[in-house]
Amino acid sequence: MLEIDVKKKLRDFDLELSIKISRGEILMLVGDNGCGKTTLLNMIAGLIEPDSGMIGLDGRPLFDSSIKIDIAPERRRIGYVFQSYALFPHMSVYENVAFGLRTRNLSNREIELLVRDHLADAGLWEIRNARAMKISGGQKQRVALARALIIEPDILLLDEPLSSLDIRKQAEMRRELREKLRSYAVPSIMVTHDLRDVASIGDRACLMERGKIALEGRVEDVMSWASVHSEIEGEDSGSLMR
């Protein structure tokens, strides 16, 4: 289980959150732009340090201010799919996926076998030599996910992984993403603005407002609240907030 209980003073408000995510559970994190969603992901990943609190996985502290533990990002075994995918544009698809393995003292043969398996599973082996800047949005999403999964992460974080895809591609990728996350059975947190993502992918949802959890529960409950909010505000019913 991933346990998070952290505080962080931000420019416009104080972020203060307490969440637990079970193994294999997919938590959808929704809310306005700037409410602290990505900041939370970055704290879990070790890219931002909380002011106080703890982040633990199965009883092992990743961060604990009370005993001054702050595990380095590269030692947290976290797979992170960034909103922009953060691929190395001039590197090949193969090298992007292999990147996280290069520091693990694996032989070239071991790396080759792992990368081949992950690229083949993602339908990317045929374009392994293409530069990341030259491939389509859907292919970039698959490369980013393969790179996150190849390190066999203990936690998966996804920051609006479908937002840059066109509407037709999003439906297909939702199905693929749900199946992939299910197969790895680790705690997963996905940030999104889209109710269709929440309905198709999530097990549970949290609505954030100015650094706090305003609503937490079943996907159906959060979607119901969001639909009413969208109607009142006159927003697109497919988009939760922006």
Q: How many CB atoms lie within 10 A of CB 35?
A: 23
pLDDT band at 175 (very low <50, low <70, confident <90, very high): confident
Query: pLDDT tens across 67-117, in order?
Result: 999 999 989 999 999 988 889 999 999 999 998 888 787 888 999 999 999
Mean pLDDT score, 212-221: 86
Nearest to 101 by CA among 88, 87, 83, 113: 113
Kindly tell me if the per-residue pLDDT of 25 is higher than 60: yes
The reported pLDDT for the residue numbered 59 is 92
Kindly tell me if the per-residue pLDDT of 230 is higher than 70: no
Structural domain spans, the chain: 1-77+153-242, 88-152
Task: Give 79's strand partners.
Answer: 156
Top CATH class, 1-77+153-242: alpha beta
The reported pLDDT for the residue numbered 232 is 42
**pTM exceeding 0.85:** yes
Mean pLDDT score, 36-53: 96
Least confident range of 36-40, 79-83, 170-174? 170-174
Please, is 100 exposed, middle or buried when counting C-beta atoms within 10 Å of its C-beta (0-12, 13-18, 19+)? middle
